[in-house]
Amino acid sequence: MSFYTGGSNSANAASREAATASAEAAAAKRDVAYLEDQLERMKLVCAAVWELVKEKHALTEEDLVAKIALLDAKDGIADGKFSRAPKKCVKCGRTVTDKQRACMYCGAVQPFESVFQSL
């Protein structure tokens, strides 16, 4: 009888794991859908801003493409992404991510740097 009970426990554990995995997959799908919605909104905003700037300043698509290429290559890699080179701690010189307000090695508070400062 204990063999049967052991199998039942194993089946119950597998069933719980499957239910957990299913819930996690559903949550991931919701997250992806939310991010896709946000991306579509950002694309709309960018298109509207570009139209306004183009109209007000007589810029062309070529001007935009040239600026995109310049900004893309600014981090040393022309990869179609807007990324910045890693910054160094103001005190110890170790690498600090953009998300850190203080160095995880020495604790020094890092100066705020806007994404637009490097433009």
Q: So what's the pLDDT on residue 6?
A: 53
Q: So what's the pLDDT on residue 7?
A: 60
Of 76, 79, 78, 98, whose CA–CA distance to 89 is shortest? 98
Q: So what's the pLDDT on residue 33?
A: 97
Q: So what's the pLDDT on residue 77?
A: 82
Q: So what's the pLDDT on residue 3?
A: 52
User: Which positions of the chain have pLDDT values less than 70?
Assistant: 1-7, 113-119
Q: So what's the pLDDT on residue 4?
A: 52
Of 102, 109, 79, 105, whose CA–CA distance to 92 is shortest? 105
Contacts 24+ apart (CB under 8 A), 57-64: none
Tens digits of per-residue pLDDT, 80-112?
A: 887 777 788 999 999 988 778 899 999 999 887
